[in-house]
Structure 1
Amino acid sequence: MGIARGQSKLWKPARKTRSLFDRQLASPKDYRLRMSSGWTISDGTYTAVPEDRRTKKNVPYPTYIHQAYRATFGLNTLQLAHNAPITLCAMDVATDHLWKCAPPFIQSEVNVHPPNGPALWSQDESHQEAIYQETERQTEKRGKDVYGEFKTKPWGIWPLWVEDQWGSDYVLLVWYADDTDASANSFDTVTMAALYDPRRYPLGDKDGRHHPIIERKERLEGQVQKFFNRAGFDTSRLVFKEGKISPMPLDETTSGERCFAAVKELLECIMNYYLDIAQGAQQDFSKGFWNLSQWVNPYQYRIEMTGINAWVLMATFDYNARIAVECVEPDIKAEVVVDGQRRLIRPADLAGPSTPPDVAADNYLLYPSLESDPKSA
């Protein structure tokens, strides 16, 4: 399920491996970086090492190899195109960084869980049951509740990757849970939850407005409650509230960028919530959690996510490495898959359109386009 970061399984070699001391020592030439034709711009900050002089000493090796692979994959996928879907790995690296940058008292109150999907959130219940059975088998095997990470703190923020007839999108789940006298320090009594979904109905109402997808919301609420029950939460007091988020235009696939922006904004909202409590103020959650910003520029956040993945990659090398800028030749065609359709990308596509998006309406619905608005005729 990808519930916790950094978990590793015990691995036993199938055959006996040779000791490192039995292997032939490599010569400096074996560490030469093989490069294709190209040119380099340097500002003189670092002394360039000629290709035929590079050895093991000046070729860095990552201290955290697992994180290096994850950040490399996340960075490469984010650079494909502005409208390519964001991978779970890239989202995990970026949102985990947001949590690590939060104040310590927020880190002690909030968990930002690794993104998960689509099996648990699909319409095929057989996929869901298979995941639950495997998870519970791991619980029996390890002798430890693999759902326990979800109960360590009162606040939970969880990006869900959802695939259904409406599209393939990130939907952000947020919940609050209490602990009890019987289970102190185990926040297993979930009281409130909200789903932030930027997708809207493809067809407008009589006024041309595109509303949130009720069918998806109700289905996901049922599946989330089922997850809470299987994970050992007490859902007797659970209430699902509305969560407003800037809507995604019908011709975009930017739910990932909007999900990342929502995680960032929610961490700030929770921080301000605790700061207000410290000053004696009270927060009314009777109508739900916070309504998020009505304006999100998804390409701004995609660039931020790219920067985070690049920074994490450099950090895994103890800052002994730098990120190179590579040239995408204009005549070379590159393909990405968006919502099951192949699209060609060009160098200008990497940063997204230069025109910023519109501000969402007060009711967070999409405005009708000029072509479809009968009043504009």
Structure 2
Amino acid sequence: MSMGWALLKDPKQIKILRYAVGLTIAIALAFAIAWPLSFLLPILSAVFLALPLPKPTLSQGLRNMRDTLFAFSVGYIFTLFILPYPLIFVPLLALALFFTYYHLNRGGSFWLVLMLLVCLLLMPMLAGVDEGLAIGVAFGLVISSWLTLAMLWLSHYVVPDPPGSATLPAGPVFQPGYSAPAAELALKSTIVALPIAIVFIANNWASQILVMLFAAIFTLSPDLAKGREAGVNSIKSTLIGGVIAFFIYWLLVAVPEYHFLVLLMFCVSLGFGVAIYSAAPIAKYMPSAMVAMIILVNSSLAEGADFSEKFVLRVLLISIATIYVVMALKALDACWPRNITMSSKNID
């Protein structure tokens, strides 16, 4: 048992403390070493520590590490060998996006799908700026992802669950055969995500890459109501995270010390943990608000950065992604053949 925290018996208190401790360690490590895409370590840690899941097993962690490496390899192949040939790249990207969404709809690994989307969209975009930059950033993604898995294990070791706690529940059962409903949903997601991906990659709009990534994530479930809800929730979370990041930013400007940063982030993470595991209506926004806060604080501390500009830009980019997804799904629903939907339901 670790540091006397094993005396805690309340599961909620344990999760809150683990969230704060794990996230603080991730932030401290990312700011101390600052490797490429190091800010992804606290972001991914914040996402997964907020989930009510017990300690992952060794096999699950190794599988996620393997999936990350696989996603990097796919992105590497697309970027180096296929991107120079647009007539081949576009249909193959469409197929890759389709099978990525299809894998998720059949009950596949969300971690693998997330890594594939990031590598398939991020690496070709950055390759338009500099090929070496794309590879370096993707390698940083792999390192940050692997460190996130290690951080999850470390967090559970430092703040362990009480004896007799439940093991990690089984995820959705993967459907090995062909699934017509899953294929239909994947096709809708691909139709919505592919055009914006092509436009952004073709024009090298690397500075607006968040719009493309948010659009791809919002279409994981190609339902108009869910897409709109995901976008609106992201805007609300960004506003909450932005307000908190504003105060953190000025506190760090007043006291620009690494030790103060670590202490401040522990206090903030503890407060977020209490809110996340509360029954308050705002609880559902807090995990994404923490992610927004980390991104805003990280980007605002860069040399010559302007906090207000970063905050307004992020809200604007999420709003653009939401508007695009809602309009695209509305147009798609209006044009989608009803007999396909009905036949899919009959098969199901």
Fold equivalence (TM over 0.5): no
TM-score (norm 2): 0.30
Structure number with higher relative contact order (C-alpha < 8 Å, ≥ 6 residues apart): 2
- Which structure carries more helix by proportion? 2
TM-score (norm 1): 0.28
